[in-house]
A and B are shown apart, each in its own frame.
Chain A
C-alpha cells in the first residue's frame, strides 16, 4: 500500500518534471527563434528639444513596441531601440557613434536632425548603417549615394506643395505672392529660402517671391521688416525657421492691422505657436509637412496604437505623428529586408537594399505617410512627393484637406 502510494507520488513528480522540461524547451525554442536587431536612436533629453522629447521618442517607442508584439512576433524578430541622448550637438553625435557601432551593431539609426546629418552623413556609407530621419531634409544634404534618408523631402518641397494648392485657389490667374522671413548666417535657414526662390524661378507664372526679410534668430519685434513685406501685398508669409519667428511675425501683422496667412512647418507649427498666440490671430495660417496630421481621420489606427503602447508622458500630436511615421517606415524597411534575406540575416546593407527596392505602398503606413519610393539620387523620396497641411479655421486647428497635396517638381538649387 505504502509502496503503491510512493510509486504514485514518484509518477506525479516525474510528470511534473516532464512538463517543466517540455515547457522550458518550448520557451527555449521560442527564444532561439526570436532574432533581436538593434535600431540606435538619437534623442535630445537634455538639450534644446528636451521639452518635446517625450512625444518625440514616445511616437517611436509605441510603434516599435506594437510591431514587436504583432508583426515582429509573426516573423520571429524583435527590434530593440538603443537610445542615445545626443544633446542636439554634432560633436556629441561624433563622440557617441563609434561606441554605438561597436557596442550595439545597429542595422539602422533613427536620426533626429541636423547634428546627426552633419556628423554621420559621411560615415554611414563606410559603416554600412542607413539612417532614417523624422524631420524634413534641407538642400545642404541633398547629395546622391548617401545612406541618410527621410520620408520627408526638403522643407522647400513641402512648402511648394502647399503653395501649389494655394496658387490653385487664387480667384484670378496670377502667381501666388510669397514673402519670406528668415535668418542669414544659419545655413539651413538660408537654404529653405533658396529652395523657395528656385521654385519661383522654375514656375514664374505660379509663384513669385515678392520680398525676403532677414531677422534675428530669436527676434523680439519685426514690425518694420513685416511692413516691408506688407508693401508688396503678399498672399502668404513663409516663416520656416522657429517658433519665435512665427510668433514675432504674427504679432507684427496684428500690430500693422493686417491679415496675411503665415506658412510654417512641423517644428514651428500652429500647435506650438498657439501656446503663445491666441488662435484667432492665427486664423487662416498653415503648417505643412509630408506626413499626415495627427487629427486626420486616416491616422486613427496609428493614434490608437500610440495611446495603447505609449509609456511616456508624451501625447499624440504633430511631434508624435512625425516620429511614429519615422518608426513605421523603418519597420516596413525591416520587414522588406527580412523577406529578402531571411529573419536571421538582416544587416545594415540589407536594410539599405530594402530601402532601394522599389515603392513602399501607402497601405503599410497606417495612414501616416503616402507611398514612398527611394533612389540613390536623393536622401528623400523622389517621384510623386506629397504633403498634407493643417490650418486654423474658425478658431480651431484642422486638416486642410483629407487628400495628399502633390508637390511640383523642384530642381536642386
Chain B
C-alpha cells in the first residue's frame, strides 16, 4: 500500500523493489552501514556477523524450497555439508580458487538434492519430510565411507583460507566482506526469483498441487528445480562455512542444525525472503543475548551452576520462539510489512 499521491507512470517503475527516493536512500544507507560495520565493531562481532550471513544464505535456500515452492525440506544441513566438503576438496586437492569452489559447491549440493527431490513428485507433507531426513542420515555415513582421498573419510578435510590476487582472505574483516558480498548477490537473486516466471510457478505449486499442471506448469520439473535451488544456496553457505571454520567433518552438519534453519524461517516468515533475513537476525540475536546473560550470571558468582544456565538458555530460546509465533504466526516479515504499511499511511490507521 502506498500513501496518497505516490504513483508510478510505468509498470517497470511500479514493479521495482526500490520505488521511491527515500526507499533508495534507506537501502544505500543500509549498504553503507553493512560495509562500514567492520570499522565500528571488533573481531568477535565480525565473527558473529559473518556466521550469521552464512546461516542466512542457507535459510534463503530453505525459503525457496519450503516457503516459495511448498516442498518440505528437513535436510538442509546435509546440503550445507555437501557444499562444505566439495569446497574443501576442490580448494585442497585441486587447488581451485574460492570464486570457483563456491559456485561448484552450490552446484554439487544442488545436484545431490535432485535425488532427494525426486520423491517430491509423488509424495508430500510428512512423507516428503521423511525423505529429506533420509538425506540428513545418509550424508555422514556416505561421506565417511567414500574413499579417503575424496573427502578425507572419517578424518574430514582441512582447508586453507580463501585467496584473491595473491592476498589471503584470512582476517575477520576479509571474511566478513567475502560473506557479505556472497549474501548480497544471493539475496538479490532470492528476492527477484519470487517475482520471476520460475518463482510464480513455485508459488503455484505451493498453493495447489493439481492446478499448476492444468496451467501448463510441469510439476516434476519445478519441484526438482525448487530442491535444486534451495540446496544450491545451502551448498554455497557450506562453502563459506568451510572457509570460515577451515576444517570440515560430518559432525558439523547435523539434523539439529536443519531444525534450526527451519525454526529461523518459520519465525521470520515462510513466504518471503525477508523472512529468512529477519528470522536469522532474530534467532542469532536472541542466542547471543541469552548466552551473554548466561555468562554474566555465571561470572557474578550467583551460585547458579553451568548446567542450569545451559538448560535455561535453551528454554528461554524456545520460549522466545513460541512467544513470537503466538503473537505473529505469519512471521516477523508479516509484522514488518504491517509496520511499513502503517508508516506509509500515517496518520491514518491501518486495518
Q: Which residues of A contact B (CB under 8 A)?
A: 44-48, 50-51, 53-54, 85, 87, 90-91, 94-96, 98-99, 102-103, 114, 117-119, 121-123, 126, 139-141, 184-188, 190-191, 194, 313
Nearest chain B residue, comparing its CB with the CB of A57: B306
Q: Which of B140, B153, B154, B246 contacts A119 (CB 8 A)?
A: B246
Given contacts A45-B298, A126-B170, A184-B141, 14 further A-B contacts (CB under 8 A): A45-B310, A50-B310, A90-B247, A91-B245, A95-B47, A95-B48, A98-B43, A98-B47, A98-B171, A118-B252, A121-B247, A122-B159, A122-B247, A185-B144
Partner of A45, one of B141, B160, B246, B295: B295
- Other-chain residue from B42, B50, B154, B295 in contact with A187 (beta carbon distance below 8 A): B154
Q: Which of A87, A102, A119, A188 contacts B43 (CB 8 A)?
A: A102
Contact status of A94 and B155, CB under 8 A, knowing A50-B306, A99-B47, A118-B252: no
Nearest A-chain residue to B145, judged by Cβ: A184
Q: Can you list 9 A-B pairs with a CB-CB distance of less than 8 A?
A: A45-B298, A50-B305, A91-B51, A95-B44, A122-B158, A122-B159, A185-B140, A185-B144, A188-B251
A119 touches B247 (CB 8 A): yes
B172 near A: Cβ within 8 Å?
yes
Is there contact, CB below 8 Å, between B172 and A98? Answer: yes
Residue of A nearest to B244 (CB): A94
B119 contacts chain A at the CB level, 8 A cutoff: no
With A96-B47, A99-B47, A186-B250 known as contacts, the answer to whether A140 contacts B310 (CB < 8 A) is: no
Task: Give chain B residues whose Cβ lies under 8 Å from the Cβ of A98.
Answer: 43-44, 46-47, 171-172
A46-B158 in contact given A95-B51, A118-B252, A122-B247 (Cβ < 8 Å): no
Q: Indicate whether A90 sits within 8 Å of B252 (C-beta atoms), given known contacts A122-B246, A185-B141.
A: yes
**When the two chains form their complex, are residues A186 and B51 in contact, meaning their CB atoms are under 8 A apart?**
no
Q: Determine the main DSSP class of B at the interface with A.
A: helix
> B249: CB under 8 A from chain A?
yes
Q: Does B123 count as interface, using CB distance less than 8 angstroms?
A: no
Which of A50, A87, A119 is the most central at the interface, judged by chain B CB atoms within 10 Å of its CB? Answer: A50
With A95-B44, A98-B172, A191-B154 known as contacts, the answer to whether A46 contacts B245 (CB < 8 A) is no
Name the B residues within 8 Å of A94 (CB-CB): 47, 51, 244-246
The minimal Cβ–Cβ distance linking A129 to chain B, given in whole angstroms, is 15
Known: A114-B251, A313-B305. A187 touches B144 (CB 8 A): yes
Please give, as numbers and ranges, the residues of chain B lying within 8 Å of A50 by CB-CB distance.
305-307, 309-310
Q: Do most interface residues of chain A lie in helix, strand or loop, or is the interface mixed? A: helix
Once the chains are docked, how many angstroms separate the CA of A288 from the CA of B154? Answer: 23
- Rounded to whole angstroms, the CA-CA distance of A90 and B155 in the bound complex is 16
For B206-241 the 0/1 string (1 means CB < 8 A from A) is 000000000000000000000000000000000001
B154: chain A residues within 8 A (beta carbon): 139-140, 187-188, 190-191, 194
Residues of B within 8 A of A123 (CB): 246
Nearest A-chain residue to B248, judged by Cβ: A118
**Min distance, Cβ B85 to any Cβ of chain A, angstroms:** 12
* Alpha-carbon distance between A413 and B80 when the two chains are bound, in angstroms: 28
Interface size classification for chain B: 35 or more
B residues 43-78 in Cβ contact with A at 8 Å: 43-44, 46-48, 50-51
Could you tell me the distance between the alpha carbons of A190 and B159 in the complex, rounded to whole angstroms? 22
Q: Name the distance in Å between A358's Cβ and chain B's nearest Cβ.
A: 28
A46→B42 contact, CB < 8 A: no
Whether a CB of chain A sits under 8 angstroms from the CB of B137 is yes
Q: Which of B296-331 contact A (CB under 8 A)?
A: 298, 305-307, 309-310, 313
Q: Given A91-B51, A98-B172, A119-B246, verify A185-B137 contact (CB < 8 Å).
A: yes
Closest to A114 in B: B251
Q: How far is the CB of B41 from chain A (nearest CB, A)?
A: 10
Report if B294 contacts A (CB, 8 A): yes
Query: Of the candidates A102, A118, A194, which one forms a contact with B249 in the assembled complex, judged by CB atoms under 8 Å apart?
Result: A118
Which of B153, B244, B298 is A91 in contact with, Cβ under 8 Å? B244
Q: Is the CB of A46 within 8 A of B44?
A: no
- The answer to whether the Cβ of B291 comes within 8 Å of any Cβ in the partner chain is yes
What is the bound-complex CA distance between A119 and B246, given in angstroms?
6
B156 at the interface (CB under 8 A from A): yes
Known pairs A98-B43, A102-B43; A51 contacts B155 (CB<8 A) = no
**Distance to closest chain B CB from A192 (angstroms):** 10
Q: Is the CB of B306 within 8 A of A46?
A: yes
Tell me, in angstroms, the Cα distance from A94 to B246 when the chains sit together: 9
Q: In the assembly, what is the distance between CA of A128 and CA of B237, in Å?
A: 29
Let me know if A54 and B246 touch, CB within 8 A: no
Are B44 and A45 interface neighbours, CB within 8 A? no
Q: How far is the CB of A81 from chain B (nearest CB, A)?
A: 13
Cβ of B251 and Cβ of A187 under 8 Å apart?
yes
Convert B129-166 into 0s and 1s, putting 1 for each residue whose CB lies closer than 8 angstroms to a CB of A: 00000000100110010000000011110111000000
For residue B141, which residues in chain A have a CB less than 8 angstroms away from its CB? 184-185
Residue of B nearest to A185 (CB): B140
CB distance from B155 to the nearest CB of A (A): 4
Q: Which of A91, A114, A139, A313 counts the most chain B CB atoms within 10 A?
A: A91
A94–B170 Cα gap in the complex (Å)? 11
Contact between B245 and A118, CB atoms less than 8 A apart: yes
Chain B residue nearest in CB terms to A313: B305
Hey, which chain B residues are within 8 Å of A54, CB to CB? 305-306
A46 to B308, CA, bound (A): 8
A-contacting residues, B75-101, CB 8 Å: none
**Are A99 and B43 touching (Cβ within 8 A)?**
yes
Of the residues B140, B170, B172, B310, contact of A186 by C-beta under 8 Å: B140
Those of B10-43 within 8 Å (CB) of chain A: 42-43
Please, which residue of chain A has its CB at the minimum distance from the CB of B250?
A187
CB–CB B310/A46 < 8 A: yes
Contact of B306 among A45, A139, A140, A191 (CB under 8 A): A45
Residue in B48, B159, B246 with the greatest tally of chain A CB atoms within 10 Å: B246
Q: How far is the CB of B36 from chain A (nearest CB, A)?
A: 19
Nearest CB in chain B: distance from A131 CB, A: 13
Residues from chain A with Cβ under 8 Å of B159 in the complex: 122
**A413 to chain B: closest CB distance in Å?**
10
Contacts of B291 in A (CB 8 A): 46, 85, 87
Docked-complex contact A140 and B249, CB < 8 angstroms: yes
> What's the nearest-Cβ distance from chain A to residue B109, in Å?
18
Q: How far is the CA of A3 from the CA of B171 in the complex (A)?
A: 72
